[in-house]
Chains A and B, each alone.
Chain A
Amino acid sequence: MMKVDIQDLEKKFQDRIDQDIKIEPNDWMPDAYRKTLIRQISQHAHSEVVGMLPEGNWITRAPNLRRKAVLLAKVQDEAGHGLYLYSAAETLGADREQTIDDLHSGKAKYSSIFNYPTLSWADMGAIGWLVDGAAIMNQVPLCRCSYGPYARAMIRVCKEESFHQRQGFEIMTKLASGTTEQKEMAQDALNRFWWPALMMFGPSDADSSHTEQSMRWKIKRHTNDELRQMFVDVTVPQAESIGLTVPDQDIKWNESKQGYDYGPIDWDEFWQVVGGNGPCNKERVETRKKAKENGKWVVEAAMAFTEKRNSKKSA
């Protein structure tokens, strides 16, 4: 009897998804759907928060007042995105602090790109242009994701990300039209961030464990390889337009597929970095852990204070 009921619920659930009706927090949903979303949304939230660090690394050294202000605003936006996303995960029953502790223990992942170091000012351009650019490719389809709170959070996030992307490209344009040293700085940043940016779309479709089910649930609308191709097709001409060269000898326009062919991705590197062996994995997680540990007495004080005030009120 019970089994039939669940099958019935699952069928109704899938019907709603097929009709593009959003799933809301109080609606029935399969456990696996809930788990997949919690994993994906909290991973996304962690990426925003850990993603503050590589750019935060250059705020104090930004070359002028305008750049400093814009970079501050950008990193602040990312913290804001982290907050919406943790809230979206909470609508599914996830606990924010537990989720954060999972990041600190290494149980939860975040986007691997943030495990690469930022070595020059041009990296602020490369990150905005490539990393936010790739994030937009991933996130625009998420605005139509079947889960309402996530889809709505993504609409706001995408607006800000596209501003970041333009800002990053503007930094690169300025450098690429500058002195020899500036051009070299820009090319070097592109060389270092190009491949990690392509890896941001995740493993090849053949090796992606979550894609098929996520597409049926309309959590995902395109495969990893489709999104990667879109990114390459948009980005290669942008690089050319400012006189920079994508570090891939195999890049070639393919008339029949109306897209660029590109060289093989080093998946060994990808899995090593995901597995914790990237250049900055330890530093990133340690920094976040330290922020929480150093803030513990502050949080305790705030809670004790609120309690005191509440008991005064009720007395």
Chain B
Amino acid sequence: MTEKQALYKYLLRMGDDSLILGQRLSELCGHGPILEEDIALTNISLDLIGQATLLLEYAGESAPEKKTNDELAYLRIEKEYVNALLVEQPNGHFGDTIMRQFLFDAYRKPLLEQLLDSTDKRLAGIAEKALKETKYHLRHSSEWIIRLGDGTQESHQRIQNSLEALLRYAYELFFENEVDELLIAQGIIPAANSIFPIWEKTLHDVFEEATLLLPKNKWKFQGGREGRHSEHMGYLLAEMQYMQRTYPNMEW
């Protein structure tokens, strides 16, 4: 594998995480629990779609055969998407949405911080822009985890259940294979083991304040990074790709 091939694959992972999570959040537009939160979730969705646009644009230029970001976003088959399983999980109730977001933000922020030092200047530039947004996302999701955890008995139970249901998907965010080895050696991306302890600490601190307990079972589900998705993914893609599949080769 060449460095360029590895970079392509890595950019797809980051781009797909942003795209699929942005798509999930966009389903909520107009349905938030209160108007302020509707605006916040839509705003996060918009940031993520913006990040996906930049990441997939760069991926497309690094692809073996050049592609546009729209071609990558809309015209791949399911097993070519390499987002983590976590981000494709359904929105569920507000606690599920926030827990999914928190587990992701707590990983994405230190990743972006370390990408600022990437030897790949373009990736570092994208990370710089995304970091500003992600800091806000993490603050927003952490605050809600704490409010719901330390709110009412009902909210505590709900968010604890969300944690039990979603944590098993989060470990996949630290997936590594030969793509990572090559890029780490070139100083393009950080190693997962330099992000994982920061992620764990964020979880520990926020859950402590929220009076939530980390599940003892550390069993993990994975497959998304290698194109094996959950049953939810097909429906998400069917909806997202509807226009491009129904009316191929048109400009919008």
Contact = CB atoms under 8 A, between A and B. Distances in A.
A291 B41 CA distance: 14
B150 A305 contact: yes
A76 B43 CA distance: 7
Interface in B74-131: 74, 93-95
A57 B1 CA distance: 43
Given A291-B31, A301-B154, A60 B26 contact: yes
The 6 closest A-B pairs by CB, nearest first: A295-B33, A301-B151, A301-B155, A63-B243, A56-B30, A63-B252
Contacts of B243: 61-63, 121
A198 interface: no
A308 B73 CA distance: 45
Contacts of B52: 65
Nearest to A73: B46
30 contacts: A53-B30, A56-B29, A59-B26, A59-B29, A60-B23, A60-B27, A63-B243, A63-B252, A64-B73, A65-B49, A68-B26, A69-B53, A72-B29, A72-B42, A75-B42, A76-B39, A76-B46, A80-B39, A83-B36, A86-B35, A174-B252, A178-B251, A287-B30, A291-B33, A294-B33, A297-B154, A297-B158, A298-B155, A301-B152, A305-B147
A41 to B, nearest CB: 15
A302 B33 CA distance: 12
A64 B31 contact: no
Contact of B240 (A60, A75, A294): A60
Contacts, number: 141
A285 B52 CA distance: 34
A304 interface: yes
Given A62-B243, A80-B39, A179-B247, 15 more contacts: A60-B26, A60-B239, A60-B240, A63-B250, A64-B74, A69-B46, A79-B30, A83-B35, A171-B252, A297-B154, A298-B33, A298-B37, A299-B34, A300-B151, A301-B148
A179 B73 CA distance: 22
A255 interface: no
A82 interface: yes
B227 interface: no
Interface string B199-231: 000000000000000000000000000000000
A121 B242 CA distance: 11
A69 B240 CA distance: 13
Question: Chain A interface: which size bin?
Answer: 35 or more
Contacts of A292: 33
Nearest to B19: A65
A67 B174 CA distance: 32
Interface string B35-63: 11111001101100110110010000000
B70 interface: yes
A308 B211 CA distance: 13
A67 B73 CA distance: 13
A52 interface: yes
B69 interface: yes
B161 interface: no
B32 to A, nearest CB: 7
A31 interface: no
The SS class assigned to the A binding surface is: helix
A305 B76 CA distance: 45
Interface of A: 49, 52-53, 56, 59-69, 72-73, 75-76, 79-80, 82-83, 86, 121, 171, 174-175, 178-179, 181-182, 287, 290-292, 294-302, 304-305, 308
A308 B153 CA distance: 13
B35 A300 contact: no
Given A300-B151, A302-B151, A68 B39 contact: no
B20 to A, nearest CB: 12
Interface in B142-183: 146-148, 150-152, 154-155, 158
Contacts of B154: 297, 300-301
A182 B29 contact: no
Given A61-B242, A62-B243, A291-B30, A69 B50 contact: yes
Contacts of B148: 298, 301, 305
Contacts of B252: 63-64, 67, 121, 171, 174-175
Contacts of B46: 69, 72-73, 76
Contacts of A65: 49, 52-53, 56, 69-70, 73
Q: Which of B26, B27, B148, B244 has the most CB of A within 10 A?
A: B26
Nearest to B39: A79
Given A79-B39, A301-B154, A72 B45 contact: yes
A294 B250 contact: no
Contacts of A68: 26, 49
B27 to A, nearest CB: 6
A60 B235 CA distance: 11
Contacts of A305: 146-148, 150-151
B94 A298 contact: yes
A42 to B, nearest CB: 13
Contacts of B70: 64-65
B35 A79 contact: yes
Given A65-B70, A174-B252, A297-B154, A181 B23 contact: no
Nearest to A306: B147
